[in-house]
Amino acid sequence: MLKKQSAPHTPAPCPLTLLAHHASLYLLSLFFIFIQVNALSSGVSQMLDPSQQEKCCVFQFEGKTSFGMSVFNLSNAIMGSGILGLSYAMANTGIVLFLILLTCIALLSCYSVHLLLRSAGVVGIRAYEQLGLRAFGQPGKIIAAVIITLHNIGAMSSYLFIVKYELPLVIQAFLGQTTGSDDWFMNGNYLIIIVTVIIILPLALMKHLGYLGYTSGFSLSCMVFFLSVIYKKFNIPCPLEVFWNHSSAAAPEDACTPKLFTINQQTAYTVPILAFAFVCHPEVLPIYTELRNPTKRRMQNIGNVSVLGMFTMYFFTAIFGYLTYYGNTEPELLHTYSLVDPLDTLILCVRLAVLVAVTLTVPVVLFPIRRAILQLLFPEKPFHWLRHIAIAACLLAAVNLLVIFVPNIRDIFGITGATTAPTLIFILPGLFYIRIIPTDQEPLCSRPKIQAACFAALGFIFMTMSMTFIGIDWTSGGEGRSLGGH
């Protein structure tokens, strides 16, 4: 009856043409990232005379982590479960607008890392909370610690949400079942507790963040496998009958036509999701502390390489997922693939890879929270294993409770991305730079400080707009909110 659904299949070559066109634009964007970030870094460094540069590096930490392991850890901190929602974000912005937003957020993230490293270098401090103390006194220290804690708890929660919803489906597929059961091993709440106790907690008890470099590298390799499968599944025919066989209407003419620009009610979630996807700033200074032969340029290069790698993975994941399902892309990409064939072996392997990746990311994200708590409550105390273990156990218990009792992952991504992400990326680094850099080196009206002030103001604007849009979406009962989370 609905055989005419095959008509929209005629523009099939169009996505490939668009992909080639935008891939070239993407490569230009990558080149632009390195040009801009390196110019910013070298430009500010040249403003200091050699003696002043030497003062920036008088503090020494006995770091033992290599450049490569540091890149793995920072990349793992950047990459999270947000990658599953990027195709949905592209579906609600269009290819060109998504690429513009992704490039802008990546550039701003690199510049923010530069501001943090510059501030840390001048005063000889490599703790986010201590920068807050130096800039604004005790209130600044408390605010920085609270924001880091809230943000990373939101990130940990989002990772465990993936485990909660995906692991039962993986077990179900292993058992060859197409419907769920009431067995305890199919209950996501029990499963996240088991995963936390057996895998996450032992890794979170590591004394140094650098030890997690190997698990971070393995986590990244799992996400590369995820990307390769998304590409492999790019040849799924469109339109899919599963999206239209319950409707009396045929698929729209443009159901399989990619859109360059799209503005709709769900676009409000896109910028917070992208901002959250690039937040790694609480981990920058701890990684800097443990870096072997630490210098500002070396750490900036680690930040640039990490952001560039994640930019590449994000873009290709988003565009291949979007050009497979177009407007039917769901908030969690793997759920969209499950609609095609719930027992597909390749998709099952991808689910396992994503589960491993997000599980191994949780300990990396936990380290800055524990460090913030130690800076607040025990600033002068030496390291003690009992305190180290107790904080990790309490944090993981709190996050597990949050995941069990908060029903929608997308609320976490939207609200956290709209509040703590702009604070960590834009507001605090800009304010720290203005307050910490001495006026005899850079007057208040100098170009670097004006740029930092504009950078912080951009964060306030971004936060206000995002919260407003999300509030409007909630009050209007946007239908997309029921689809699941990013």
Q: Where are the domains of the chain?
A: 65-240+269-483
* Residue 450, C-beta contacts closer than 8 angstroms, at least 6 positions apart: none
Say how far residue 46 (Cα) sits from the centre of its chain.
Answer: 32
Q: Encode the chain (486 residues) as per-residue pLDDT tens digits.
A: 444 444 444 444 444 444 444 444 444 444 444 444 444 444 444 443 333 443 433 344 467 888 999 999 999 888 866 777 888 888 888 889 899 989 988 998 999 999 999 999 888 878 888 899 999 999 999 999 999 988 888 888 888 888 888 888 888 888 877 676 778 888 888 999 999 999 999 999 998 888 888 888 888 888 888 788 777 766 666 666 555 455 555 555 566 777 888 887 777 667 767 766 788 888 899 899 888 888 899 999 999 999 999 999 899 888 888 888 777 777 777 777 767 676 777 778 888 888 888 899 899 999 999 999 998 888 888 889 999 999 999 999 999 998 888 766 556 666 776 788 889 889 999 999 999 999 888 898 999 999 999 999 998 988 887 788 777 777 776 544 433 333
Is 27 exposed, middle or buried, given 0-12, 13-18 or 19+ CB atoms closer than 10 A?
exposed
Neighbours of 260 (CB within 10 A): 14
pLDDT for res 405 = 83
Query: Tokens for 117?
Result: 């490293």
d(CA 145, CA 14): 49
Cα separation, 485 vs 326, whole angstroms: 18
| Other Cβ atoms closer than 10 A to 122 | 19
382 φψ region: left (φ > 0), alpha (ψ -120 to 50), beta (else):
beta
**65 has which bridge partners?**
291
The pLDDT assigned to 435 comes to 94
> Which pair of structure tokens corresponds to residue 474?
């909630």
- Cα–Cα dist 388/386, whole Å: 5
The pLDDT value recorded for residue 14 is 46
Cα angle at 420 between 467 and 147, to 5 degrees? 140
Taking the C-alpha atoms of residue 111 and residue 194, their distance in angstroms, rounded to an integer, is 40
Three-state DSSP string of the chain:
CCHHHHHHHCCCHHHHHHHHHHHHHHHHHHHHHHHHHHHHHHHHHHCCCHHHHHHHCCCCCCCCECHHHHHHHHHHHHCCHHHHHHHHHHHCCCHHHHHHHHHHHHHHHHHHHHHHHHHHHHHCCCCHHHHHHHHHHHHHHHHHHHHHHHHHHHHHHHHHHHHHHHHHHHHHHHCCCCCCCCCHHHCHHHHHHHHHHHHHHHHHCCCCHHHHHHHHHHHHHHHHHHHHHHHHHHHCCCCCHHHCCCCCCCCCCCCCCCCCCCCCHHHHHHHHHHHHHCCCHHHHHHHHHCECCCCHHHHHHHHHHHHHHHHHHHHHHHHHHHHHHHHHCCCCHHHHHHHHCCCCHHHHHHHHHHHHHHHHHHHHHHHHHHHHHHHHHCCCCCCCHHHHHHHHHHHHHHHHHHHHHCCCHHHHHHHHHHHHHHHHHHHHHHHHHHHHCCCCCCCCCCHHHHHHHHHHHHHHHHHHHHHHHHHHHHHCCCHHHHHCCC
Euclidean distance between CA atoms 379 and 138, whole angstroms: 12
361/357 Cα distance (integer angstroms) = 6
Cβ(91)–Cβ(326) below 8 Å: yes
Q: Give dist(CA 86, CA 63) in Å, integer.
A: 35
Rounded Cα distance, 438 and 20, in Å:
48
- Per-residue model confidence (pLDDT) at position 358: 86
- Is this prediction's pTM over 0.85? no
Are 68 and 142 in contact by the 8 Å Cβ rule? The answer is: no
Q: What distances in angstroms separate CA 312 from CA 254, 276, 399, one per listed residue?
A: 28, 16, 30
Q: Which residue has the tokens 């939101």?
A: 154
Tell me, what's the pLDDT at 51?
Answer: 38
Whether domain 65-240+269-483 has CATH 1.20.1740.10: the reply is: yes
